[in-house]
Chain A
C-alpha cells in the first residue's frame, strides 16, 4: 500500500477496516403501558383458566367421553366430505365463471353475471331448503325434445339424495362468492403478461390457464382459504335440506338425548378448531407454492435434461459477463 497516496480510497477503506467502529448502544424507549397491559391480560387469563377448571357446569368429563364418540367422529367425516366436495364444485365453477366474465363473448359474460347475481343474492339456507325440496318440484327429470319424444328420464329422489342436495346447495352458493374472488385475482395480473403471451402466439385459453391464473392464485388463495374455513362452519346449515349426519347435527343429537348441551357444544367447537387449524397449515403450503418466483424464491424445480446439462457443461468454462 502506497503511503505516498494517502487520499487513495482503497487505502482509506482498509484503514477503516482495521479500526473497529464504536457500535451504538442506545437506551431503547421504555413502554410501561405494555407492561401494565400484559399484567391485566394475564390476570384475565388466570381468571378464565380458574373458571374453566372450577366451574362444574362445563362438565369436562362429558366432553372427554364424547370427544371421540363414534357418532362425533362420523360427523367429522361427513362435515369434511361436505366441505371438500362443495368447495371443489365451487372452485371449478368459479374458475369457469371468472373466465366467462372476462370473455369477449357477451353471452358468456351475461350468463356469468346472472349466475353470481342469483346465487349470491339469495340466502344459502333458502337454497339448501330448495334443493331438499327439488323432488317435490320436479318428481322426474327427463331429457327429450320439447313437445317431442323423451330420450331418457330418472326419478329426482334417486339422484338428488339429501347428501347430493347439500353439496349442490353449498357448492353453487359458494361458487358465486368465489367467482368474484377469482375475478379480482385475474384482474390483479399485469396486462403486459397477456400481451407477452399473445405476442408468442399462445391461444387465449392457454394464456389464461398457464400464465394468468397461476399468477392470480397469489391473490386468490388467501381469501379462498378464508371461504373454505367459512364453508366448514356453513356445513352445519345442512339440516335445512335435511341432511342429518354432520358434526353439528351429531353433537346436537347427543346433547338432546343426554340433556347436556354445553359439553357437546364444546366438543363440536373443539373439533371445528382442530380442523380449521389443519386447513390453515394446508393454506400455508398452497400459498408457498403459488408464491414461487415472487414471494418466495426457492431453488428452481427444473432439472436440466441430460442433453441440456451436457450442453451447459460444455460451455461452462465460458466466463459470465453480467457481474457488475
Chain B
C-alpha cells in the first residue's frame, strides 16, 4: 500500500508549522513542519531525545511551544490570535481543545482507584455531562472493542500491562476524539503483550481514526502507517511512505537508525 490519492485529497487535520521548543537552554524541537490528514496514520520514529514525544505532547498542550504554530482542524492550539498578538487561552478553553484529542501514554496512567469501567466513564460523565447509563453502555461497547468486556470491574492493578493499555485506549476513545496521540504505547510492555495492543491500534486505524503514533515498532509503521517521519536532534530528517523509507532510506542518519532497530 502506498499513500493513496484518496488520502492526499483529504482535508488536513493537524498542521504543524515551524515549531520550536526550548526546555530552558535546551533546544529540543528545532523547526518542525508536518501535516496530518483526516484518517491518516502518521508514525514518528527516532532515537530517544530526538524530540518525537515532546512534539506529540505539544499537540495537546502538555507542553507549550516556544515558537511556530500548531493547528488542529484550522483551530490554533493553545493561543488566540488577535490584532497580530498571541493570547494564552484560559484553562477552560484549553480543556475544550483537549477534548478533541485523545492521548495514550507509555505508562498507561489509568486511575488506580477506579475500575476499568469507571476509568472510561470518568471523562464522559464529568466533562461531557453524559448520563451514567449512557456512558456505561458506551464504555461496555468500547471494552468489547478492545477485547476486555469481561474485565469491566477489574482495577488496573488486576490487569496485565497490555490489558491496562487497552483500557487506556478505550478511555481516550470514550471522549470521541477526532485525533488520537500514542506516546510509545508499547514501550513499557513485556514483549509478548505488545501484539494485543498493536492489534487494537490496527483496528482503530482501519476504522478511519486519525492517529499520530510515536513508537519503536517498525513492523507496525510498515504495516499500518500511511506516513513515516524520522526525527533526530529536534528536526525531521526524513518523511514519506513508510515502506519506501524502511526499505530504502535516503538519509545516512535514517539508515544508521534503522539498521540498529530492524
Chain A contacts with B in 181-209, Cβ cutoff 8 A: 190, 192-193, 195-204, 206
Closest A residue, CB atoms, query B96:
A201
Is A149 interfacial (CB-CB < 8 Å)?
A: no
> Complex formed: what's the CA distance from A306 to B256 in Å?
57
CB within 8 Å for A294 and B152 given contacts A203-B92, A307-B133, A308-B136: no
Is A158 interfacial (CB-CB < 8 Å)?
A: no
Q: How far is the CB of B121 from chain A (nearest CB, A)?
A: 9
Q: How far is the CB of B89 from chain A (nearest CB, A)?
A: 13
The reply to whether B137 and A307 form a contact with Cβ atoms under 8 Å apart is yes
The reply to whether A302 and B115 form a contact with Cβ atoms under 8 Å apart is yes
The reply to whether B137 and A315 form a contact with Cβ atoms under 8 Å apart is no
Is A140 interfacial (CB-CB < 8 Å)?
A: no
The reply to whether A297 and B123 form a contact with Cβ atoms under 8 Å apart is no
Is A324 interfacial (CB-CB < 8 Å)?
A: yes
The reply to whether B95 and A302 form a contact with Cβ atoms under 8 Å apart is no
Is A10 interfacial (CB-CB < 8 Å)?
A: no
Q: Kindly list chain B residues whose C-beta atoms are within 8 Å of the C-beta of A201.
A: 95-96, 98-99, 123, 127, 175
Q: Interface size (A, Cβ < 8 Å)?
A: 39
Q: Kindly list chain A residues whose C-beta atoms are within 8 Å of the C-beta of B160.
A: 322, 324
Is A127 interfacial (CB-CB < 8 Å)?
A: no
Is A305 interfacial (CB-CB < 8 Å)?
A: yes
Residue among A192, A214, A300, A304 making CB contact with B105, cutoff 8 Å = A192
CB within 8 Å for A300 and B175 given contacts A195-B105, A198-B62, A322-B148: no
**Interface residue tally on B, bucketed by range:** 35 or more
The reply to whether B149 and A297 form a contact with Cβ atoms under 8 Å apart is no
> Complex formed: what's the CA distance from A42 to B107 in Å?
54
Residue among A203, A214, A300, A315 making CB contact with B153, cutoff 8 Å = A300
> Complex formed: what's the CA distance from A178 to B118 in Å?
30
> Complex formed: what's the CA distance from A312 to B148 in Å?
11
> Complex formed: what's the CA distance from A196 to B165 in Å?
13
Is A13 interfacial (CB-CB < 8 Å)?
A: no
- Scoring A residues 287 to 305 as 1 if CB is less than 8 Å from chain B, else 0, what string do you get? 0001011100101101011
CB within 8 Å for A315 and B144 given contacts A195-B105, A199-B102, A206-B126: yes
Residue among A192, A293, A305, A321 making CB contact with B132, cutoff 8 Å = A305
Q: Kindly list chain A residues whose C-beta atoms are within 8 Å of the C-beta of B137.
A: 305, 307-308, 311
The reply to whether A203 and B109 form a contact with Cβ atoms under 8 Å apart is no
- Scoring B residues 7 to 21 as 1 if CB is less than 8 Å from chain A, else 0, what string do you get? 000000000000000
CB within 8 Å for A322 and B163 given contacts A200-B122, A201-B95, A215-B112: yes
Q: How far is the CB of A148 from chain B (nearest CB, A)?
A: 35
Is A210 interfacial (CB-CB < 8 Å)?
A: yes
Q: Kindly list chain B residues whose C-beta atoms are within 8 Å of the C-beta of A215.
A: 111-113
Residue among B96, B139, B196 making CB contact with A322, cutoff 8 Å = B196
- Scoring A residues 210 to 221 as 1 if CB is less than 8 Å from chain B, else 0, what string do you get? 110011000000
Closest A residue, CB atoms, query B126:
A206
> Complex formed: what's the CA distance from A322 to B165 in Å?
13
Is A61 interfacial (CB-CB < 8 Å)?
A: no
The reply to whether B144 and A195 form a contact with Cβ atoms under 8 Å apart is no
Is A19 interfacial (CB-CB < 8 Å)?
A: no
The reply to whether A198 and B157 form a contact with Cβ atoms under 8 Å apart is no
> Complex formed: what's the CA distance from A297 to B151 in Å?
14
Is A150 interfacial (CB-CB < 8 Å)?
A: no
Is B46 interfacial (CB-CB < 8 Å)?
A: no
The reply to whether B149 and A315 form a contact with Cβ atoms under 8 Å apart is yes
Closest B residue, CB atoms, query A309:
B140
Is B186 interfacial (CB-CB < 8 Å)?
A: no
Residue among B114, B126, B150, B175 making CB contact with A293, cutoff 8 Å = B114
Q: Kindly list chain B residues whose C-beta atoms are within 8 Å of the C-beta of A202.
A: 95, 122-123, 126-127
CB within 8 Å for A304 and B98 given contacts A193-B111, A202-B123, A311-B137: no
> Complex formed: what's the CA distance from A312 to B171 in Å?
18
The reply to whether B149 and A318 form a contact with Cβ atoms under 8 Å apart is yes
Q: Which chain A residues have a beta carbon within 8 Å of chain B's beta carbons?
A: 190, 192-193, 195-204, 206, 210-211, 214-215, 290, 292-294, 297, 299-300, 302, 304-305, 307-308, 311-312, 315-316, 318, 320-322, 324
Inter-chain pairs besides A198-B98, A297-B158, 17 sampled, C-beta below 8 Å: A193-B109, A199-B102, A199-B105, A200-B99, A200-B175, A206-B127, A214-B113, A292-B113, A292-B155, A304-B152, A307-B136, A308-B137, A316-B150, A318-B144, A320-B150, A322-B148, A322-B160
9 cross-chain pairs, A with B, having the tightest CB-CB distances, nearest first = A300-B153, A201-B99, A196-B109, A293-B155, A200-B123, A199-B103, A192-B109, A201-B98, A300-B115
Can you name 21 A-B residue pairings with CB atoms under 8 Å?
A192-B107, A193-B109, A196-B105, A198-B98, A200-B172, A201-B175, A202-B123, A292-B113, A293-B113, A293-B114, A293-B157, A297-B155, A297-B158, A300-B155, A302-B117, A304-B140, A305-B137, A311-B137, A311-B144, A312-B140, A324-B160
